[in-house]
A and B are shown apart, each in its own frame.
Chain A
């Protein structure tokens, strides 16, 4: 903190600008932190090019004998190319992003801005759904989805996706509510007096100003779905439908198989799409929202 505070004092009038010595110091601090924070990941990348015996016995960062073949083995290990699992995961994750973004935004707008009977109660129920540990819900949910005929259909991803289009991820609803409540209400009031309907306000005031919340939701929806194991394991049943997290566990059957090298190689690869997704979307967090012209 001190390193950021110091240059600020000397340039109080230009709070967003930074540079010179201050930036160099900050950069050094950041690089040092990053190096420590990322060491485990470097280790993982190192492990992905180690031979099987080395992963087990050599705990150092670098391989003694460079084994890039893990990547080839991992990619071609199954009857299907590993790329198939990437495509499956990408599809599920992207559709989840769309579902969450739309449905949670609608619900959040209702909670944050509209007045209707029982709003407080529904809000409490929504928070309440965050609190029950998920493991006791898996079995009842499975039974329910099967009753509804969603399990084992032609397209096995329905049970994974339908809830996402129904705003069941209370996390995102609550997140968006908090963001929307940060948007000055005067904007709504002005629009109302101009005759805008609730939908009009949503469309012209809230939606444009909800970008940070939407971007955040998109990032998390994508990454969490990409990494989700248990639900995907329960609902997907054939190799060609498996997603990356499920496929990654196939390399290691703790009692009978230990293809750790290919597993590490594919784990490293599976970080790439999410990393790129994050890199792309975080850019949208760079520019602040332009609320100028709005006087409080």
Chain B
């Protein structure tokens, strides 16, 4: 797996732990810790074996077959790498979806993170009504991918929608955004950014974890707000920034719901919102080519795995952990 390149916190951690504690104690602790580690991990391990791994491995197996959901497993045909070959050589819609997804992720992910961090900083301090504002900003994310949201969004962004009315105030002539193949993807990005509540909450929670004495110490040193932000907030928040970056990148590439909801599950108009996972869903469930869809899923896993691994390897240069393991 591509992910074996993810940093192994153990390796570097042991050294520093040893340096801190007397040798004999450390040895005893390490043995009992090994056991404790697996005890604490056991629910996850059971879940992995019983719930996650088998379906994953099955889907890997199915990616080498012509599985169509309706045919029993016992009758599926092994097709070798044919599904993978088809993806890379004989399916233009596949590459189209890859382009759509890359465009979407590269634009929407940074903007969503910026919006989330900006608003989280605005809403971090305690003042009356802050809770209400936080909740109001989270409201869009509560809608998820419901039927209601689909209708609402289309009504905001079609030719006679509210967005164009807003533009008209500034004398700008609008477009039929959701129904224009040149702009539908942008509309989708706006929807994704609009639902920035999840990373916002995580940023807020992260900001709460920054020990207040650090700010006090910094202000005693005469640091202004910006200096405090650079010297205290950013480094202390970096594990959480890192988490949001990794997760939103994964989510951005997986972005299914918005595309499904806005295009009625088609990826239209003319494939302009055909995100990778939407394409995969259509192939798997509508066209009943689940073998092919599984192959697409595993290529996706590899590609995102590599991107994630790269993010992890850059992490050691800018992510600051208070547990000292990265120093």
Contact = CB atoms under 8 A, between A and B. Distances in A.
B4 A166 contact: no
Contacts of B58: 140, 143-144
Contacts of A223: 141-142, 144
A112 B40 contact: no
A47 B146 CA distance: 15
Nearest to B216: A15
Contacts of A143: 58, 73
B122 to A, nearest CB: 6
Contacts of B219: 12-15
Contacts of B224: 8-9, 12
A263 B156 CA distance: 18
Interface string A259-296: 01001100100010011001100110111110110100
A285 B204 contact: yes
Interface stretch (A80-88, A89-97, A116-124): A116-124
Contacts of A245: 144, 146
A264 B147 CA distance: 9
Contacts of A207: none
B130 A286 contact: yes
Interface residues of A, number: 127
B127 A18 contact: yes
A274 B4 CA distance: 38
Contacts of A220: 198, 201
Contact of A132 (B59, B126, B212, B243): B59
Contacts of B280: 133, 135-136
Contacts of A116: 10, 33-38, 41
Contact of B323 (A19, A112, A174): A112
A208 interface: no
Given A106-B40, A120-B6, A198 B225 contact: no
Interface stretch (B85-93, B103-111, B169-177, B292-300): B292-300
Given A59-B160, A165-B43, A168-B51, A16 B277 contact: no
Contacts of B294: 136
A37 B152 contact: no
Given A131-B304, A132-B300, A179 B225 contact: no
Nearest to A199: B36
Interface stretch (B11-19, B74-82, B181-189, B266-274): B11-19
A171 B247 contact: yes
B43 A166 contact: yes
Given A59-B155, A133-B280, A227-B144, A182 B239 contact: yes
Given A178-B243, A181-B322, A197-B36, A267 B205 contact: no
A102 to B, nearest CB: 8
B138 A278 contact: yes
B266 to A, nearest CB: 12
A128 B236 CA distance: 26
B321 interface: yes
A62 interface: no
B47 A103 contact: yes
Given A132-B301, A136-B294, A34 B137 contact: yes
A202 B8 contact: no
B38 A137 contact: no
Contacts of B276: 133
Interface in B222-272: 222-226, 228, 236, 239-240, 242-243, 246-247, 250, 254, 256
Contacts of B222: 12
B69 interface: yes
A216 B204 CA distance: 9
Contacts of A166: 43-44, 46-47, 50-51
A5 B43 contact: no
B43 to A, nearest CB: 4
A166 to B, nearest CB: 3
A189 interface: yes
A135 B277 contact: yes
Contact of A283 (B29, B131, B137, B141): B131
A249 B256 CA distance: 18
A100 B139 CA distance: 23
Contact of A282 (B59, B135, B277, B297): B135
A205 to B, nearest CB: 12
Given A179-B240, A252-B147, A115 B14 contact: yes
Contacts of A140: 54-56, 58-59, 62
A134 B97 CA distance: 17
Most chain B Cβ neighbours within 10 Å, of A18, A141, A163, A264 = A141
A190 to B, nearest CB: 10
B202 A167 contact: no
Contacts of A59: 155, 160-162
9 contacts: A37-B139, A115-B33, A125-B3, A136-B62, A163-B47, A183-B323, A193-B25, A198-B33, A288-B212
Interface of A: 1, 4-5, 8-9, 12-16, 18-19, 23, 26, 29-30, 33-34, 37-41, 43-44, 47, 55, 59, 61, 102-104, 106-107, 109-117, 119-133, 135-137, 139-141, 143-144, 148, 162-163, 165-168, 171, 173-175, 178-185, 189, 192-193, 197-199, 202, 212-213, 215-216, 219-220, 223-224, 227-229, 245, 248-249, 251-252, 260, 263-264, 267, 271, 274-275, 278-279, 282-283, 285-289, 291-292, 294
Given A37-B194, A162-B51, A179-B240, 18 more contacts: A4-B225, A13-B219, A15-B216, A18-B127, A33-B137, A37-B136, A37-B140, A41-B139, A43-B155, A112-B323, A116-B10, A163-B52, A179-B209, A198-B32, A219-B201, A223-B142, A278-B142, A282-B131
